[in-house]
Amino acid sequence: MPDHTANQSRHDAPLVRGRDASKDLGVGAALRTVVEPANFDIFPGERISLTGQSGSGKSTLLHLISGLSTPTSGVVEWPQFGSIDALRPTFIGIAFQGPSLLAPLSVVENVALPLLLLGESERHARSAALVMLDRFELSELSDKLPEEISGGQSQRVGVARSLMGEPRLLVADEPTGQCDQVTAFRVLDIMDELTKERGCALIIAAHDPKIASRMDVHWTIEAGRLARNSA
Amino acid sequence: MLEARWLSGLVRRRRGRLVSITVGVALTVGFLAALGSFFSAASSNMTHQAIRSAPVDWQVQLAPGLSASAGLNVVASEPGVAKALAVNYGNVSSFSCNCGGTLQTTGAGKALGIPTSYATVFPKEFRYLIGAHRGVLLAQQTTSNLHAAVGSRIQIGLPGGSHVELRVDGIIDLPAANSLFQAVGQPSALAPQAPPDNVVVLPASLWYSIYQHVNAANASITQIHVRLANVLPSDPSAAFSDALARAHHLEARMTGQALVGNNVAALLDAARNDALYANLLFLFLGVPGVVLAILLTGVLGASGGDRRRKEQALLRLRGASARRVVGLGALEGLTVGVVGSILGVVLALGVGKLSFRAAHLKATGLLTSGWTVSAFVTGLLVAVICLALPVLRDSRTLTIAEGRVALGAPRRPLWARLYLDFVALGLAAIVFIRSASNGYQVVVAPEGVATSAVDTTVFLAPLLLWIGAALLSWRMASAVLSRGGGVLGALLRPAAGPLTSVAVASMRRQRTLLSRGLVILMITSSFAVSTAVFNATYSAQSRVDAGLTNGADVAVTAPGTTGLPSNLANVVQAVPGVASLSPMIHRYAYVGADLQDLYGINPRTIRNSVHMVDSVFTGITAPQALKALASRPDAILVSQETATTYLLTPGTMIRLRLQFAADHRYHTVPFHFVGIVREFPTAPHDSFFIANSRYVARVTGDASSQILLIHTNGPPPPVAAAISTKVSPLSGITVRSIDQQLSATLTGLSAIDLSGLTRLELTLAFLLAAAAAGIVLALGLVERRRTFAIAVAIGAKSRHLASFVWSEAVFILSGGILLGTVTGWLLAEVLTKLLTGVFDPPPDHLSVPVGYLTALLSVTLVSGVVAVVTSLRATREPQMDVLRDL
Ligand SMILES: Nc1ncnc2c1ncn2[C@@H]1O[C@H](COP(=O)(O)OP(=O)(O)OP(=O)(O)O)[C@@H](O)[C@H]1O
Ligand SMILES: [Mg+2]
């Protein structure tokens, strides 16, 4: 990535801005602060890794960033995108940690869904989905049902789907957790290509330091405390 | 303790599910207890009414040689006999009176001798019209035949030729003349007897002083009239058998010296058949409701499988054994069962108060009744099975992949591959046709056998129809979803827009879930529709029945065969509210040796004042039958029973003997048989004739009519009251409105009081249909919380989800309601046919309870819409607990 892009983008408004954003989960005795008040910005084209132990709060933080949940205190804003209701699928794509395909829909229907939600015609959405699946080398699976494919395959379909709305920010929560390393790197390569092609920012949660090291910015989280050690 | 903590945890976290299952159990128990208690109360009520309606329980006829006092001693000492009085029946060859300046003479009759206390012990036998209540009492009809009055001197001719003169002290009516003058010991079919036209009732001492000098053979007989103590059991069948056995015991003790005319047994015989029909109705209409309530509770119990499996896995992880986990499920079921059952019994008490007359259901009676106990046990079982069974099943399969919600391309179920739906429908048709071929004889009461029974195989027809229709609905729903994509797409496109094909695909792959919902809704709505239509038909038919018995809105009837005053028609016509009237002739005619009722009508005008239904004729419509009657003066319609007994065929000439006015003797009159009639307004249910009144009047020389049938402009009762003021109370003429008849029929012996049952059932059907729509849709949506959470996470908006959810809801609601209505209608049709015995006559067509069905439709739709809207609202907030798993 040419440096100037990143530098230049630092002068723009951030895509996501968190100020003292915290998140409590649970009720009653189980109530606990899962994400301590955190300050962060994600700028256009920025590529961030988020590492931390299991249970440290990675997924919870990503949910805040992608607008799936609201902070208990502090604020999370999307200066370039507008309100929380307008984020997905136009601006933010999400690839989940667990199985996330819609069970009643086939693979190609799952992948086409973001475009359909944007009001694209069925024909266009379907052909775009097929192209995307081809890109991820998943063409053979296009007419299968989620229950007929493996966990790793389903995760890759999820990644393909997350890029369908041509988002400005891709939030990926251990997107290759269920794949072998070779496949994982293949998927990451394709993700890299696609996000770079489109100037799409990327935040990816990962255990694997090799994956983290592919990114430019590194965030770590420990027991809910976010630390940012930029490259 | 794990158990206690588990239960308190459930109450805190799973309140909705526990509450809804408790409500399901309560409904089941409440309905079962109320229904069962209603039927046991109804049948004992029938017994009591039967016993109370007998004017005299037994008429014990003594053999000629046996003295009255000897017979009385034996009968009075019989266990169970409360009162016994001797009654003498003396033959009278003629009555005559030189009254009002002319001499009147009648035909033969009877002179009764009764003890002084008779009228107090058997108050239903006599009605005092005028004059003294004791002394020489002349029957009203004889009085009018003789033109006599109180104080007149009449002569009675005795067997052997002598005469005595009596002074009339009072005039009476004999309301129970048919049983009073029955031929004891002879099957009524062989010796049907019209009660004598002429009767005089004398004090026993006077009777003896007259008849002790009569030497002719068969001049008199003696009967002991008996009132039984309150000894008969409350079940009609048991009471019937007991009444028979007691009578046989007496006959055996009297070694052939006496025969018992068992009036109370005859009435109980009718009551026990009614009770059987009540049981039939219970099985046909009540049991499906209970089954449905259980089914819905089961659906609730099986729901929330994902969550339950997760909790179980947690328990297992913490070291609970599989048995302990199942035990916890059973404990949960037991707790819900006890609470639900108690609520159910309370509900039954409340419903009992609301639905049934106080006399039917008393709280204490309900609590102690076996029905309540069995309902309670059923409630416990249902709860335990609904809650513990899914746990048990899961505990077996927990290791196998997580339960996947009915998705993908499931193998066609076994029943579908075996075509069990068509098999069930075919068998239902066969059972129905077989039942139709024996004239829908549901209650089989072989002649001479004391116990009759219900032919239970006929239940298979509606049951198999219900099952077959449900399975076929499933097949159809499934076929539409898997193959009707094009049609579905076209229907959904306006709402779903670009998401149409996704919505269609999603529906296709979830066809098991959707078909299940549709079928549950179809079953409940068919139950509601069939119950409502059946009940509406039944109550409409009660009115038709009352109309047939009463004849018209208002009927004016002369006593016996005396004529109505000839100017009465003009007087009545002038009464406000009278729209039109038809006079009718009522005489007796001999066919062979048998005396039957003969009615003379004007076939051209009778329909102006009488509502004629086609079902009372056999093979022809009402207008056709009347046209045939009008086609020739001597035409006659013959009752089904008479035609069968005497092998008469339409088109032939038949000869009857009618009494001529000139000589009071019976003469042969030819008639032309033009058609068969099953029932006719005012006519008895069994044997009678309908002829042209003109012809009857001409041949007998007597144009008087005995009945006036009146059609009113407004409500009949005030018109009847107005007419009553125009007739002399002494004339014995009765004025009766259809409403009086209806209430007499409905509370009487020959009809089962369905109103309480109806209200109960309709309420339950209503609740079930409403609950089913809500439950099916809400649960379907709960099962897919995950799907919706993902869709929201990738950017679906409320309107997108709404288009999915509404497509499915519309499919389930419209399909379920449509197929349910068709099936319900068919079921009502089948039930009505099978229960032809309950309807007298059978209805021409089903009645549609528009109000109820509209309300039912609205409540079903509202419940469905509310379920969808609340579920959709819930998806607006991202479902965090679901997202954690993503
Ligand atoms: N509903 C809840 N109530 C209380 N605590 C919760 C709840 N849901 C999650 N947690 C806790 O929040 C913490 C953070 O969870 P989160 O899923 O964000 O971790 P994570 O870093 O993504 O872990 P992993 O790497 O395993 O995915 C965990 O310790 C978890 O136990
Ligand atoms: Mg995580």
Q: Which CATH number does the domain housing residue A15 bear? A: 3.40.50.300
Q: Quote the radius of gyration of chain A (alpha carbons, Å).
A: 17
* pLDDT confidence of residue B636: 94
Contact present, B55 and B263 (Cβ < 8 Å): yes
Lowest-confidence range among B397-411, B556-570, B605-619? B397-411
Instruction: Give residue B91's pLDDT.
Output: 92
Return the structure tokens found at B506: 């999603």
Is 60 exceeded by the pLDDT of residue B449? no
Report how many domains make up chain A. 1
Quick check: A104 and B500 CB within 8 A? no
Measured between beta carbons, the chain B residues lying within 8 angstroms of A29 are none
Chain B residue with Cα closest to A155: B886
Nearest one of B582, B562, B754 to B659, comparing CA atoms: B562
Residue nearest to atom 24 of ligand 1 (CA): A54
Pairwise CB contact (< 8 Å): B794 & A117: yes
Q: How far is the CA of B882 from the centre of ligand 2 (A)?
A: 13
Nearest-angstrom CA–CA distance, B44 and B371? 14
**How many Cβ atoms from other residues are within 10 Å of residue B303's Cβ?**
20
Confidence at residue B177, expressed as pLDDT on a 0 to 100 scale: 83
Q: Is the pLDDT of residue B553 over 70?
A: yes
- Between B357-366, B693-702, B818-827, the lowest mean confidence (pLDDT) is in B357-366
- pLDDT tier at B861 (50, 70, 90 boundaries)? very high
Whole-number mean pLDDT of chain B?
83
Nearest to B440 by CA among B844, B830, B846: B830
* Out of B502, B797, B886, closest to residue A97 by CB: B886
Q: How far is the CA of A168 from the centre of ligand 2 (A)?
A: 22
- pLDDT exceeds cutoff 80 at A36: yes
Residue type, A83: S
For residue range B581-629, list pLDDT tens digits in order. Answer: 999 999 888 887 777 889 999 999 888 888 887 777 877 888 899 999 9
Residue A74: closest CA among A23, A150, A116: A23
| Of residues B104 and B823, more confidently modeled | B823
Residues forming beta bridges with residue A47, ordered by sequence position = A202
Q: Is the pLDDT score of B510 beyond 70?
A: yes
Give the closest of A100, A109, A116 to B886, CB-based: A100
In a domain, A107, yes or no: no
**B795 closest CB neighbour out of A69, A97, A117:** A117
pTM assigned to the model: 0.76
> What's the mean pLDDT in A94-107?
89
pLDDT at residue B405 above 60? Answer: no
Kindly report the nearest CA distance between residue A133 and chain B, in angstroms.
Answer: 17
A-chain residues near B407 (CB < 8 A): 103-104, 145, 147
pLDDT surpassing 50 at residue B359: no
Question: What's the number of CA atoms in the CB half-sphere (13 Å) around residue B107?
Answer: 12
Rounded CA-CA distance A165/B543 in Å is 70
Atom of ligand 1 nearest to the CA of B881: 1
- Least confident range of A58-72, A107-121, B266-280, B558-572: B266-280
What pLDDT, on a 0 to 100 scale, did the predictor assign at position B190?
43
Cα dist. B470→B226, B247, B271, B521, B556 in Å? 57, 52, 37, 10, 52
Q: Do B797 and A117 touch (CB under 8 A)?
A: yes
Measured in degrees and rounded to the nearest 5, phi and psi for residue A208 equal -75, 115
Rounded alpha-carbon distances, angstroms, from residue A67 to A84, A90, A97, B522, B643:
6, 13, 16, 42, 88
Residues of B in contact with A101 (CB under 8 A): 790
Mean pLDDT on B561-569: 82
Residue nearest to atom 25 of ligand 1 (CA): A54
Position B780 confidence tier, pLDDT thresholds 50, 70, 90 = confident
**Tokens linked to B177:** 């003349």
Predicted confidence (pLDDT) at residue B756 exceeds the cutoff of 90: no
More confident residue, B160 or B9: B160
- Higher-scoring residue by pLDDT: B632, B327: B632
* pLDDT value at B362 more than 60: no
Determine, yes or no, domain membership for A55: yes
Q: Which of B302, B455, B165, B357 lies closest to B757 in space, CA to CA? A: B357
pLDDT at A202 over 90: yes
pLDDT tens-digit map of B97-129 = 988 778 888 888 999 999 999 999 999 888 887
Q: Which of A201, A2, A165, A28 is nearest to A90 (CA)?
A: A165
Q: Beta partners for B736?
A: B555
Handedness of CA B590, B594, B600, B601 (dihedral sign): negative
User: Judging by beta carbons within 10 Å of its beta carbon (0-12, 13-18, 19+), is residue B190 exposed, middle or buried?
Assistant: exposed
pLDDT at B750: 38
Q: How far is A13 from chain B (nearest CA, A)?
A: 23
pLDDT at A186: 92
Rounded to 5 degrees, what are φ and ψ at A199?
65, 35
Residue B685 pLDDT: 72
pLDDT band at B684 (very low <50, low <70, confident <90, very high): confident
User: Given pLDDT bands bounded at 50, 70 and 90, which one contains residue B851?
Assistant: very high
Q: Is A135 domain-assigned?
A: no
- Look at residue B104 in the predicted model and tell me its pLDDT: 85
Q: Which domain holds residue A162?
A: 5-102+158-229
For residues B729 and B466, the model is more confident at B466
Q: pLDDT grade, residue B397 (50/70/90)? A: low
Which residue of B497, B506, B884 is in closest CB contact with A104? B506
- Lowest mean per-residue pLDDT among A117-126, A197-206, B98-107: B98-107
Report how far residue B40's alpha carbon sits from residue B356's, in angstroms, rounded to the nearest whole number.
Answer: 13
CB contact under 8 A, A98 and B885: yes
Q: Is the residue at A196 inside a domain?
A: yes
Top mutation candidate among A24, A34, A65 for ligand 1, by most atoms within 8 Å of CB: A34
Contacts of B500 in chain A (CB under 8 A): 122
Closest by CA position to B2, among listed B485, B278, B324, B238: B324
Q: How far apart are CA B660 and CA B437, in angstroms?
A: 44
Residues of B in contact with A155 (CB under 8 A): none
Indicate the pLDDT class of residue A157, thresholds 50, 70 and 90: very high
Which residues share a beta bridge with A33? A24
Contact yes or no for B407 and A145 at CB 8 A? yes
Yes or no, beta carbons of B878 and A105 under 8 Å apart: no
Contact check, Cβ <8 Å, A119/B883: no
Q: In this complex, how many residue pairs, one in chain A and one in chain B, have their CB atoms less than 8 Å apart?
A: 93
Asked if residue A134 belongs to a domain, the reply is no
**B chain contacts of residue A87, beta-carbon cutoff 8 Å:** 795
Looking at per-residue confidence, does B367 or B378 come out higher? B378
Residue closest by Cα to atom 2 of ligand 1: A26
Q: Model confidence over B455-483: pLDDT tens digits?
A: 777 778 898 999 999 999 999 999 999 88
> Residue B748 has what pLDDT?
39
The minimum CA-CA distance between A181 and chain B, rounded to whole Å, is: 21
What interhelical angle do B322-355 and B305-317 show, nearest 10? 140
Q: What is the mean pLDDT of residues B303-332?
A: 76
Would you state the torsion angle of the CA atoms of residues B519, B525, B531, B536, taken in this order, to the nearest 10 degrees? -150
Distance B228 CA to ligand 2 centre (A): 87
Q: Measured between CA atoms, how close is B472 to chain A, in angstroms?
A: 24
What average pLDDT is seen over chain A? 89
For residue B430, the model assigns a pLDDT of 92
Average pLDDT value for residue range A213-224:
93
Helices of type H across B551-598: 568-573
Higher pLDDT, A10 or B9: B9
The predicted model gives B322-342 an average pLDDT of 86
pLDDT per position as a tens digit, A164-174:
988 999 999 99
Please determine, for residue B743, whether its predicted confidence score (pLDDT) is greater than 70. no
Largest interatomic CA distance in chain B: 115
Residue ranges of chain A whose CB lies within 8 Å of a chain B CB? 25, 59, 63, 68-69, 85, 87-90, 93-94, 96-106, 109, 112-114, 116-122, 125, 145, 147-148, 161-162, 165, 173
Q: What is the mean pLDDT of residues B760-773?
A: 85
Ligand 1: lining residues by beta carbon, under 6 Å: A 25-26, 30, 32, 34, 52, 54-60, 97; B 884
The mean per-residue pLDDT over the stretch B368-396 comes to 82
**Which stretches of B54-173 are DSSP H helices?**
68-76, 118-121, 140-146
The pLDDT assigned to B356 comes to: 55
Q: Do A103 and B497 touch (CB under 8 A)?
A: no
Q: Which residue has the tokens 């709960």?
A: B782
Q: Which chain B residues are within 8 Å of A99, Cβ to Cβ?
A: 886
Residue A54 Cα to ligand 2 midpoint, Å, equals 7
pLDDT at A127 over 90: yes
Question: Is residue A153 domain-resident?
Answer: no
What are the φ/ψ torsions at residue B38 (nearest 5 degrees)? Answer: -60, -45
pLDDT of A51 reads 94
Question: Which residues on chain B are in Cβ contact (under 8 Å) with A116?
Answer: 498-499, 502
Partners of A173 in the β-ladder: A205
pLDDT value for A11: 60
Distance A59 CA to ligand 1 centre (A): 7
Q: What is the 3-state secondary structure (H, E, C) of B732-786?
A: CCEEEEHHHHHHHHHHCCCCCCCHHHHHHHHHHHHHHHHHHHHHHHHHHHHCCHH
Quote the pLDDT of residue B613.
78
Which of the four pLDDT bands, split at 50, 70 and 90, describes residue B410?
Answer: low
CA–centroid distance, B536 to ligand 1, in Å, is 61
